[in-house]
């Protein structure tokens, strides 16, 4: 059996990129660590999970729970989990894992290279039948992530999937932030019995548990955080759903991998294709869901 030390040594020898190295992360899991003049970050091979990104001159952008589990077979809480090939509970199998298999799968590094800006681009890949999935992350002054899906070799029929880049953002206090860009978009309110509701015409503000799926939208979102004196801009392509989530008090207490008092520190803006916006992937085609995140 190959030891963790041998795995790390092999990865470092195979992907010799200045500013990139592989090391043992929490729970003995393997992670890639990026440290360049333009940004720092990290991604675990478990789940192809981005757990940190910090552009030079700024505070950390992503939020991680201090109660997160780092264990094989368990999802990591915070950062950017990949939800695939379904979102939420499985439609017909209650025993299937929430949000699919991608966030607990072991991914392999396919490529690592420097970018023209001085950052680092990494591509990880895995197979989740009947799909082959590649996840490319560019750690730079902008965090750019692309989830590319195509039928696995030999697949000759169409298959449906949902996906989401379930990004957790670090905020000063969720009660004092706002999100603009979705004022004119209708949404499913999962806190209120999954009712479809009309556009509010107003910025999103947080006064309780929030779980909304905004429909048929490619809108750019702006996360305004006066406590941090910053605005985070989330733009996307290949995505027609945007999910906004904060668990608030009661739900936080029910989640074993989420600290009871951590909910004010985070908010999720998820780049997705879910529900009526799920993707029907035909043979010999592919689909890419991309998000770009920058700090102003």
Question: For 139-179, how does the pLDDT look when each residue is reduced to its tens digit (9 = 90+)?
Answer: 999 999 999 999 999 999 999 999 999 999 999 999 999 99
How deeply is 62 buried, as exposed, middle or buried, from its count of CB atoms within 10 A (0-12, 13-18, 19+)?
A: buried
Q: Is 166 a residue of the active site?
A: yes
Per-residue confidence (pLDDT) for residue 170, from 0 to 100: 98
What pLDDT score was predicted for residue 218?
Answer: 97
Q: Name the token pair of 182.
A: 């979705």
- For the stretch 205-227, pLDDT in tens is 999 999 999 999 999 999 999 99
Chain-wide mean pLDDT for the chain?
A: 97
Count the neighbouring beta carbons within 10 Å of the beta carbon of residue 28. 10
For the chain, count helices (H), then strands (E).
Answer: 2, 21
Tokens at residue 240, please?
A: 């027609």
Indicate if 270 belongs to the active site: yes
**Catalytic one of 138, 162, 262, 270:** 270
**What pLDDT, in 10s, does the model give residues 2-16?**
799 999 999 999 999
What the chain holds in terms of domains, given with CATH numbers, is 4-295 (2.70.98.10)
Token pair recorded at residue 294: 């920058």
**Of 166, 222, 262, 265, which one is the catalytic site residue?**
166
Instruction: Look up the pTM and report it.
Output: 0.97
pLDDT for the residue 2: 78
Q: pLDDT tens-digit profile of 107-124?
A: 999 999 999 999 999 999
Joined tokens for residue 226 = 């006066």
User: Hey, is 166 helix, strand or coil?
Assistant: strand
For 68, the token pair is: 């997160």
Residue 173, both tokens: 């206090």
């Amino acid at each position: 059996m190959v030891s963790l030390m041998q795995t790390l040594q092999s990865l470092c020898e195979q992907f010799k990129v200045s500013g990139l190295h592989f090391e043992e992360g929490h729970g003995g899991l393997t992670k890639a660590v990026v440290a360049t003049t333009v940004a720092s970050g990290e991604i675990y091979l478990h789940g192809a999970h981005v757990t940190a990104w910090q552009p030079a001159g700024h505070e950390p952008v992503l939020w991680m729970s201090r109660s997160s589990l780092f264990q094989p077979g368990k999802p990591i809480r915070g950062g950017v989990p990949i939800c695939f090939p379904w979102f939420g509970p499985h439609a017909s199998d209650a025993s299937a894992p929430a949000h699919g298999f991608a966030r607990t799968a072991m991914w392999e590094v396919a490529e690592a290279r420097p970018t023209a800006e001085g950052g680092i681009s990494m591509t990880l890949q895995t197979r989740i039948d009947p799909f082959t999935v590649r996840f490319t992350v560019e750690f730079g002054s902008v965090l750019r992530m692309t989830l590319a899906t195509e039928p696995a070799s030999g697949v000759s029929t169409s298959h449906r999937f949902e996906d989401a880049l379930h990004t957790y953002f670090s905020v000063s206090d969720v009660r004092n932030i706002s999100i603009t860009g979705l004022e004119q978009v209708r949404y499913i309110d999962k806190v209120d019995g999954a009712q479809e509701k009309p556009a509010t015409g107003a910025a999103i503000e947080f006064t309780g548990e929030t779980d909304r799926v905004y429909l048929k939208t490619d809108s750019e979102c702006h996360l305004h955080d006066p406590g941090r004196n910053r605005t985070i801009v989330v733009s996307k392509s290949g995505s027609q759903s945007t999910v906004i989530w904060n668990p608030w008090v009661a739900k936080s207490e029910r989640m074993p991998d989420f600290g009871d008092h951590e909910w004010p520190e985070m908010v999720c803006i998820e780049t997705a294709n879910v529900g009526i916006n799920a993707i029907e992937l035909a043979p010999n085609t592919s689909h890419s869901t991309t998000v770009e995140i920058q700090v102003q």
